[in-house]
Chains A and B, each alone.
Chain A
Amino acid sequence: AQRVTQPEKLLSVFKGAPVELKCNYSYSGSPELFWYVQYSRQRLQLLLRHISRESIKGFTADLNKGETSFHLKKPFAQEEDSAMYYCALRTGNQFYFGTGTSLTVIP
C-alpha cells in the first residue's frame, strides 16, 4: 500500500519564486512526518520533521490531518535549494518514503 505520495517527480522554479513540494500520506494513526533532502553528491539528510515545527533553510511544512498532507514550502527559492526531496512517514520503527521530487531552481 502506498503510504506516502509525492505527485511531482520534477519541479522547476525560478530563483526568488515561491516553491511548494507536495506530500500526501495514508495512515490511520498519529503520523510522524519528515522531509529529507539529498544535494548533488551528498548523502541523504534530514531537512525537517513535523513534530519540531521548525523552519530549516527557510523551509516549513505543516501537517494537515484533514487533507493528510505535509507539503514543503519556501517563500523565495534559492539556487542552492536544487536537490532531491523525499517525504517520509514513520510508524513505530519503520519508515516509508515517497518516490521523491527533484527540484531545480533556475537562476
Chain B
Amino acid sequence: DVKVTQSSRYLVKRTGEKVFLECVQDMDHENMFWYRQDPGLGLRLIYFSYDVKMKEKGDIPEGYSVSREKKERFSLILESASTNQTSMYLCASSPLGLAGYGTQYFGPGTRLTVL
C-alpha cells in the first residue's frame, strides 16, 4: 500500500510566522502535489512537482513556496502566514506515466489555523 504521511495533523501558527508543512511518500512516485481543501471550494492545487528540484505552480500559488530536495519529500512553505491561509492542506503523490496510471494517493491532511 502506498503511504503518504504528513508531518502534522493539526497546526496553530500566528500571523507572520514562517510555516513548514512536510510530506513524505514511500512508493517512489515521481509526482507530488499540495492542495488546500476548503468547504464549498473543493481541492485547489497550490504547487506540484514532477521530479526532484522541479516544481510547477498550480492554481493558487500566491503566498506559498515549495521545496523538493529528495524524491520522497515535498515541503510546502508559507513564508509569512496570514489568516486567509487557515485551511486543510492535503499532500498527494502519483506515479508518472501512461493513461490509467495517474491515480493520486493522499495524505491524511494538516489542518492549519493561523491566528
**Across-interface contacts of B109 in A (CB, < 8 A):** 43
Majority secondary structure of chain B interface residues (helix, strand, loop or mixed)? strand
B106 touches A43 (CB 8 A): yes
- B48 CB contact (under 8 Å) in A9, A94, A100: A94
A51 at the interface (CB under 8 A from B): yes
Q: Could you tell me the distance between the alpha carbons of A32 and B31 in the complex, rounded to whole angstroms?
A: 17
Interface size class of B (residues with CB under 8 A): 20 to 34
Determine if B43 is an interface residue (Cβ-Cβ < 8 Å).
yes
Identify the B interface with A (CB < 8 A): 31, 33, 35, 40-45, 48, 50, 56, 58, 90, 92, 94, 96, 99-100, 102-109
What residues make up the interface of A, taking CB atoms closer than 8 Å to B?
6, 9, 32, 34, 36, 43-46, 49, 51-52, 86, 88, 90, 93-100
In the complex, 26 of the A-B residue pairs with CB atoms within 8 angstroms, ordered by the A residue number, are A6-B42, A9-B40, A36-B104, A43-B107, A43-B108, A44-B43, A45-B106, A46-B103, A46-B104, A46-B105, A49-B103, A51-B99, A52-B100, A86-B42, A93-B31, A93-B48, A93-B94, A94-B45, A94-B56, A94-B58, A95-B33, A95-B102, A97-B42, A97-B45, A99-B41, A100-B42
